[in-house]
Amino acid sequence: MSKIITVLWWVLVAAGVVIAPFYLDGIWLQDGLFAMAAAIGAIGLNLLTGATGQLSMGHAFFLAVGAFGYVYFASVPEDGGHGLGGLGLPTPLAAVLAVLLSGVAGGVFSPIAGRLKGAYLGIATLALIFIGHFVMSNATPVTGGHNGRPVPPMELFGFAFTDTPEPLVIAGVPFGALERLWFLGVALLVGAGLFARGVLRGRPGRAMNTIRDHEIAAGVMGVPVTRYRAGVFVLSSMYGGLAGVLIALVFRQTVPDYFGLILALSYLAMIIIGGLGSVAGAVVGAFFVSMLPSLFTRYSDALPLVAPTGQEGVGAAEAAQILYGLAVVVVVLFLPGGLFGLFTRLRLRLTRRTAPASPAKHALIPTPETRN
């Protein structure tokens, strides 16, 4: 019975996702795409922070590597003395290479990522943000310097994700770049989610959780702790790189300042709010955090305490930031398992299982202290 409901539920979600671009405005599609990109990045961070217990404040750096890597690989070099460089590779190849490049960047950092743990790694990865910003503002031929550079549109088997050349009309709706990218984003998100779920449910996921819960026990059981930490770090950087590529495609212009500390912090907020250690939690949190500012901006007239743009008082962006800061605190204090954990518990209560409602599977259950 419950299996049928689950299947129906998924069919409903899938139908909604397919129909969405036919009804939603461009601006909503864009927000949705950003949320999808954020979800991919957050899944990666959740593998690292949620499942393995390694804090990373440098996730924005890997997004930047992915975004600029894609732009550099795909762009045709400009002539002239101060022209922007590029390799002019086919765009799908460039995207794959950009993701690999992020993985390599994570691998270069792995001597540190493998040996440090928890919050220590958090501060160490903080360095990536600042070093990344320094490199991005100086490597002008690659990144375009302070103002960034335009992103070449993706082209897959002759199908271009652009507004031109010919207006593609499906069911009376003109399919521009955003509508086309929507489906690419969905495909990437589903693929990324399924892969991460496979990792988490299999042998590596169990090893990662053991490292988080009890490092020494993991080592005794034969888990190569250092190698696993470094490996998860590389994997999470590749997720970050993929998110970066998608963000670049949606933005159509990559700007170094975007990939700063605020972005890195918002990814941490996503996984905490959504729920640590699970794919669904990362997706829920990513949508919550990335939709919030634009919701506030659009409905600022109707909301109490939020001032309309251009007036005195708490602006929409600030209100959103304060709210998700608050959400992080509230979730940790009162909602172990995040929004997704809450959802699971509610569903358990609704279906009235005979078994007492147990906390979410990946909830933050207290673990024995790792002292000697």
Site for another protein, rule CB under 8 A? 49, 53-55, 111-112, 115-116, 118-120, 122-124, 126-127, 130-131, 133-135, 137-138, 212, 216, 220, 261, 265, 268-269, 272, 276, 314-315, 318, 321-322, 324-329, 332-333, 336, 364-367, 369-370, 372
Which residue's CB is nearer to another protein, number 245 or number 270? Answer: 270
Write down the least CB distance from residue 202 to another protein, Å: 22
Write down the least CB distance from residue 41 to another protein, Å: 16
Write down the least CB distance from residue 363 to another protein, Å: 10
Which residue's CB is nearer to another protein, number 333 or number 355? Answer: 333
- Cα separation, 239 vs 47, whole angstroms: 10
Write down the least CB distance from residue 349 to another protein, Å: 22
Contact 129, 60 (CB under 8 A): yes
How many other CB atoms sit within 10 Å of the CB of residue 328?
Answer: 20
Write down the least CB distance from residue 84 to another protein, Å: 17
Per DSSP, the residues of 118-172 read: HHHHHHHHHHHHHHHHHHHHH-HHHH-GGG-EEPPPPEETTEE-SS-SS-EEETT
Q: Among all chains, which residue has been given the structure tokens 């930047």?
A: 64
Handedness of CA 165, 187, 60, 109 (dihedral sign): negative
Q: Among all chains, which residue has been given the structure tokens 């975004």?
A: 67
Write down the least CB distance from residue 37 to another protein, Å: 21
Which residue's CB is nearer to another protein, number 136 or number 188? Answer: 136
Which residue's CB is nearer to another protein, number 94 or number 113? Answer: 113
How many other CB atoms sit within 10 Å of the CB of residue 25?
Answer: 9
Element (DSSP H or E) covering residue 348: helix 338-351
Which residue's CB is nearer to another protein, number 57 or number 249? Answer: 57
Which residue's CB is nearer to another protein, number 32 or number 275? Answer: 275
Write down the least CB distance from residue 256 to another protein, Å: 12
What tokens appear for 23 in the block?
Answer: 């009804």
Contact 223, 203 (CB under 8 A): no
Beta-strand pair 149-150/253-254: antiparallel
Write down the least CB distance from residue 244 to another protein, Å: 21
Which residue's CB is nearer to another protein, number 146 or number 353? Answer: 146
Give SS3 for 184: helix
Which residue's CB is nearer to another protein, number 51 or number 249? Answer: 51
What tokens appear for 79 in the block?
Answer: 């002539």
Write down the least CB distance from residue 113 to another protein, Å: 10
Which is nearest to 335 in space by CA: 297, 307, 362, 299? Answer: 362
Which residue's CB is nearer to another protein, number 200 or number 272? Answer: 272
- Cα separation, 347 vs 350, whole angstroms: 5
Which is nearest to 54 in space by CA: 303, 234, 260? Answer: 234
The residue type at 158:
G
